[in-house]
Amino acid sequence: MILIVWLALPFFDRLAETHFILSFADGSVLTVLFGTWLLSILLTGIYPAILLSGNHPLGILQSEHSPGAFTVWVRKGLVVIQFTAAISLIIGAIAIISQLNYIQHRDEGYNRSQIFSIDLPSDQWFKQYGAGKEATLLQAFKTELLKQPGIDNATYTYGSILDMVVSMAGIADWDGRDPNFNPAVYPLNVDPDFRKIFRLQLVSGRWFMPGDPGDKHNYILNETAAGDFGLHRPWVGQRFILMGDTGHVVGIVKDFHFRSFHEKIAPVVLMDDAPWKSDLFVKIAPQGASAAIHGAGELFHRFFPDQPFDYTFLDQAFDNLYRSDIRTSQLVGIFSCVAVLLSCLGLLGLATFTARQREKEIATRKILGASVGHIIGRLSGEFLRLVVIALLIAIPIGWWATHKWLEGFSYRTGISWWMFLFAGCLAFGVAFFTVAVQAFKAAVANPVKSLRSQ
């Protein structure tokens, strides 16, 4: 067993993205190994010895011994426990896959296809060119970038549309604001091309006008900000102040998911303030990914020498937001398969034992005219009842565990009845196949031979 764990540990580390060390100098590892060894001795040695010590030697020699009701119920109980765990894990795996599928197909409110981001140098690096030169250099870089093959458009931002982590409270003001109301605001600095690339939908008003100096002091709010702030209608045209800079609301955009689905959409204020830029998002023309990345890399090193060219595709960054959830689904899927396998082994052992104990009964039924199908159905029914019990226990457990996991998402799919039905049908199918194989072997055995051996 230790060898199996040692061989499987690298695979588990890659799957769980962690690093476990199996050290025999670790007291906790030794405790687990010693406890497992002691428990194995108790289960495989002492318990059978106690059972055998209570039997009559003559009965054993005459092959009249049969396990007591307690032993049979222990075996059946273990099978129920195994299938309960397996069905619960199957329900969990289905729910996780359903939620991940929901995330992949839900509209985030913006387009992320064929877009990659480039990390720009820090403000400290731009200081070597003197004050006020940053905006000029960035504009020149963007102009040359749009001439490169494979590039459709580009936009500067300060902060990512995908995973905005900086929020500030007490930086916004507007007409009619309660002095005690200071909501957290996510500021997002963009340029006029931002909406073209990400295809944000305007609910009312307009977008920032290219080259309009007045728009450097104006703002666009998402629907949540307009609603939570309690702005007077019409929203467009209202006076708005952000970090002391007074302007007006010129537009309202439809809510978009700027964080993972774990987080609820919060108030976002978009502005067009040229000096604040940290990222460049590039829209790739159809079939132009290789040329776009190559051209952007060469141009980047020409404009920003000695700076690393780091880029990330938006689809990849989106998947990274749910890496832990994907890893959870993989681990639960593996544990579900292992649990089903162990449950089938336990059920197969119980079915084999029961068929052996009832050879005389099966033989008698065959002589009296019972068909093979009747015998298989009778034997299988007894074991499928154990699966029914396990299913009844697993449904509330699976529902509770799934509900608790889904509570971590502000936007989530529901828990549907078909998840439990699918898990139950899968468990029934696997259990029936496992038992039916052994029942078939017992049903087709020669009844004369079975009776003669009793």
DSSP character at residue 94: H
**Domain edges within the chain:** 1-48, 72-107+323-454, 122-306
DSSP string computed for 320-354: HHTHHHHHHHHHHHHHHHHHHHHHHHHHHHHHHHH
Positive or negative: CA dihedral 197, 200, 202, 205:
negative
Q: What order do you get walking across the sheet with 311-313 strand by strand?
A: 151-157, 279-284, 115-119, 311-313
CB 134 within 8 A of CB 123: yes
Strand, coil or helix: 262: coil
Please name which of 350, 416, 444 lies closest in space to residue 82, comparing C-alpha atoms.
350
> Residue 158: beta bridge partners?
189
DSSP string computed for 202-261: EEEE-PPPTT-GGGGG-EEEEHHHHHHHTPPSS-TT-EEEETTEEEEEEEEE-----S-T
Q: Please count the CA atoms within 13 angstroms of the CA of 370 that sit on its side-chain side.
A: 19
pTM: 0.75
Q: In Å, what is the CA distance from 248 to each residue of 5, 26, 129, 236, 335?
A: 64, 64, 33, 8, 56
Tell me the angle at which helices 359-367 and 323-357 cross, rounded to the nearest 10 degrees: 70
176 conformational bin, left if phi > 0, alpha if psi -120 to 50, beta if neither:
left
Per-residue pLDDT tens digits of the chain, which is 454 residues long: 566 655 665 665 565 556 666 555 556 656 766 666 666 666 555 555 554 555 555 454 444 445 555 566 777 788 888 889 889 989 999 999 999 999 888 888 898 889 999 988 877 777 776 656 777 888 889 999 999 989 999 999 887 888 888 888 889 999 888 889 899 999 999 988 999 999 999 999 999 998 888 888 999 999 999 999 988 888 899 999 998 899 999 999 999 998 888 989 999 999 987 666 788 999 998 888 889 999 999 999 998 888 889 999 998 888 888 888 888 888 888 888 888 887 877 777 777 766 666 666 666 666 666 666 666 777 777 778 888 899 999 999 999 999 999 999 988 888 888 999 999 898 888 888 887 777 777 666 655 555 555 5
291 conformational bin, left if phi > 0, alpha if psi -120 to 50, beta if neither:
alpha
Lookup: tokens for 358? 């009832």
CA–CA dist 207, 377 (Å, integer): 71
Ramachandran angles phi, psi of 250, nearest 5°: -105, -10
Amino acid occupying residue 26: D
Q: What is the pLDDT of residue 366?
A: 63
Q: In Å, what is the CA distance from 218 to each residue of 61, 214, 236, 238, 246?
A: 97, 7, 11, 10, 8
Q: What is the pLDDT of residue 116?
A: 93
Ramachandran angles phi, psi of 368, nearest 5°: -80, 0
Pairing of strands 219-222, 268-271: antiparallel
CB 307 within 8 A of CB 125: yes
> Residue 168: beta bridge partners?
185
Ramachandran angles phi, psi of 262, nearest 5°: -70, -30
CA torsion angle for 193, 230, 159, 189 (degrees, to 10)?
40
Pairing of strands 239-242, 151-157: unpaired
